[in-house]
A and B are shown apart, each in its own frame.
Chain A
Amino acid sequence: MNADRRASACFLISAIAAVALGVVYARGGQAQAEGLLLAVTSGGIGAGIVVWAKASTPHDEVTEARHPLASSEAEVAAFTEALAAGERALVEGKGRRGVLLSAGAALTAFGAALLFPIRSLGPRPGRDLKETPYGDSLPVRVVTEDGRPVRVDDLPVDSLLTVWPEGHVDAADAPTLLIRTRPDRDLRVEDGAGVVDGVVAYSKLCTHMGCPVGLYQAEEGLLLCPCHQSTFDVYDAANPVFGPAARPLPQLPLATDDDGYLVATADFMEPVGPGFWDRGR
């Protein structure tokens, strides 16, 4: 088969595929058929053109001169002179200095004025990064995602439960892990009084980049962050033992209220989540 026939065959196959594509679409569509038929349609045209081009376009080598890109000295000199002449007309003369200075000041001020609208894009960072809704009204019950309060007896040993302050289950900075630790293992935490019957509460947000540290290896008491593999030891104040996180997960001090439900007695002991410039101030 000569090249022209091969090219025509490619174009014809492409056209047929295009018709088939229409049929597939009209009959409700199917992603795989659509993708493949589109590939044949587009590929048929491409292949046809290439076969055609290889067979019938001139392939003789053509040589074109490459002229120097730079202009001649005279042209450059004429340009710079024209520029300088204009500049002189503007700048030279008595009192021009004042005009120049005030023009510069106006442009600077205008640039600065344009920056103000940017301020509207977001609120002042302030204390938001250092506080969570736990601190709004203390003590506050911790509740599950559907708002149920939690009793210690509801938590079997080695279980973990994600909780929020009551009324704030949508708060992105407040998810907290309740973990019932094993009674036969030493538990060292920042605030021992904040542990109720082996139930300890830590912020769920990784201190590296804020991913939820949701992987609990109960046997070893390790919390692992799936984003960058930071690992925290639940039995040792949630201190980091591996990975890029440099700080422990902040602890939430717990107690029980009169009805036996778990409550937070204070906000987290440190700002939760990733670090930032003035975190320690």
Chain B
Amino acid sequence: MRVAPAVALVALAGAAVVLVPPPAAAGGDPEAEGERLYLEGCSSCHGEDGGGAEDDAGNLRGPPVADSGEAAAFYYLSTGRMPLANSEEQPRRKDPAYDEEQIAALVAYVASLGDGPTLPEVDVAAADLVRGGELFRENCQACHSASGSGGALSYGRAAPPLAPARPDETAAAIRVGPGQMPVFGEEALSAAEVADVVRYVEYLDAPADPGGLPIGRLGPIPEGFVGWFLGVPLLLGATYWIGTRSPVRRRKGSL
């Protein structure tokens, strides 16, 4: 009877050992590897100490990142929004420039520079889909639309579609507020609520479409176009077919 807890303890310890990430193969210390990568790829715009950098004219090339924290570094690198070839460019989602190990190293290094939001833990499987939906409609749909397909903002900005985002990226974005997106702190969304939202966003990737082809899930505009450019031609085609005489019949009639 007394053996069981001991066994459990040993098992836990084993699990703990397994869960510790293996040291990065190349540089040994991930933070040092991260520093190397940072100085190489990021410091020209964000500054060697993460304080931002100015060009010759005194304009900010890149914002300070010292207090961006894990979450921001992970979000920008994982979604390929950083690095940018040119600091004038708008960050857009593309294939990440670094592999996962390098991203982990950079994230660790940026986190060590200052004091910023940590990467939120999300357990999507345990999250509450219904609550997530409510929170999504409360906080997210205004910009990203009820179906998560994104939406227009002012002056050429847009809220991106959410389907490409991985759960950890969505969670990081909620805490960071990248670009135009506002920041959602603990008061707005607790850690569990972030996971709920992420679960609903994952659901929206492939929602139930019991009605058939979703035609973009963008509401009445695509519906109107289907009506006018498919429905109306079909109806007019039927009318035309009925309302005109078949040439075959005419020949037969003359027989």
Do A's and B's CB atoms come within 8 Å in the complex? yes
Among B180, B241, B250: residue with most chain A CB under 10 A: B180
> Is there a chain B Cβ closer than 8 Å to A161's Cβ?
yes
**1/0 contact trace for B118-145 toward A, CB 8 Å?**
0000000000000000000010001100
- Interchain nearest-CB distance for A7 vs B (Å): 13
Instruction: Tell which of B153, B155, B253 touches A215, judged by Cβ atoms closer than 8 Å.
Output: B153
**1/0 contact trace for A153-176 toward B, CB 8 Å?**
011111111100000000000000
Stretch in A89-97, A101-109, A190-198, A216-224 with 4+ CB within 8 Å of B? A216-224
Chain A residues contacting B153 (CB-CB under 8 Å) are 215, 217, 222, 224
> Is there a chain B Cβ closer than 8 Å to A132's Cβ?
no
Chain A residues contacting B185 (CB-CB under 8 Å) are 154-156, 159
Q: Which residue of A lies closest to B242 (CB)?
A: A50
Is A220 touching B183 in the complex (CB atoms < 8 A)?
Answer: no
Instruction: Tell which of B182, B210, B246, B250 touches A216, judged by Cβ atoms closer than 8 Å.
Output: B182
Is A54 touching B245 in the complex (CB atoms < 8 A)?
Answer: yes
> Is there a chain B Cβ closer than 8 Å to A231's Cβ?
yes
**1/0 contact trace for B212-248 toward A, CB 8 Å?**
1000000000000000000000000010011001100
| A window 181-221: CB within 8 A of B | 212, 214-220
Among A54, A55, A148, A215: residue with most chain B CB under 10 A: A215
Instruction: Tell which of A154, A159, A220, A231 touches B180, judged by Cβ atoms closer than 8 Å.
Output: A220
Q: A154-B185, A155-B185, A219-B180 are in contact. List 13 more A-B contacts (CB 8 A).
A: A54-B246, A59-B245, A59-B253, A145-B138, A151-B187, A159-B177, A159-B182, A159-B183, A159-B187, A160-B182, A215-B143, A226-B142, A229-B154
Is A242 touching B177 in the complex (CB atoms < 8 A)?
Answer: no
Chain A residues contacting B241 (CB-CB under 8 Å) are 50
- Interchain nearest-CB distance for A203 vs B (Å): 15
Given A59-B249, A215-B143, A226-B142: A161 touches B155 (CB 8 Å cut-off): no
Instruction: Tell which of B187, B212, B242 touches A155, judged by Cβ atoms closer than 8 Å.
Output: B187
> Is there a chain A Cβ closer than 8 Å to B186's Cβ?
yes
| Complex Cα–Cα for A26 and B155 (A) | 54
> Is there a chain A Cβ closer than 8 Å to B188's Cβ?
yes
**B→A interface (CB under 8 Å):** 138, 142-143, 151, 153-155, 157, 159, 177, 179-188, 210-212, 238, 241-242, 245-246, 249-250, 253
Chain A residues contacting B188 (CB-CB under 8 Å) are 144, 159, 161
Given A59-B253, A215-B153, A242-B154: A32 touches B180 (CB 8 Å cut-off): no
Q: List 25 A-B contacts (CB under 8 A).
A: A31-B210, A31-B211, A32-B212, A50-B241, A54-B246, A59-B249, A59-B253, A144-B187, A144-B188, A150-B187, A154-B185, A154-B186, A155-B185, A156-B183, A158-B182, A159-B184, A161-B188, A215-B142, A217-B157, A217-B180, A218-B180, A220-B155, A220-B180, A222-B153, A242-B154
| Complex Cα–Cα for A154 and B242 (A) | 69
Instruction: Tell which of A151, A154, A212, A218 touches B182, judged by Cβ atoms closer than 8 Å.
Output: A218
| Complex Cα–Cα for A151 and B185 (A) | 12
| Complex Cα–Cα for A158 and B181 (A) | 8
> Is there a chain B Cβ closer than 8 Å to A35's Cβ?
yes
Is B183 touching A222 in the complex (CB atoms < 8 A)?
Answer: no
> Is there a chain B Cβ closer than 8 Å to A147's Cβ?
no
Given A156-B185, A159-B177, A224-B154: A214 touches B246 (CB 8 Å cut-off): no
Chain B residues contacting A218 (CB-CB under 8 Å) are 177, 180-183
Is B183 touching A226 in the complex (CB atoms < 8 A)?
Answer: no
Is B142 touching A219 in the complex (CB atoms < 8 A)?
Answer: no
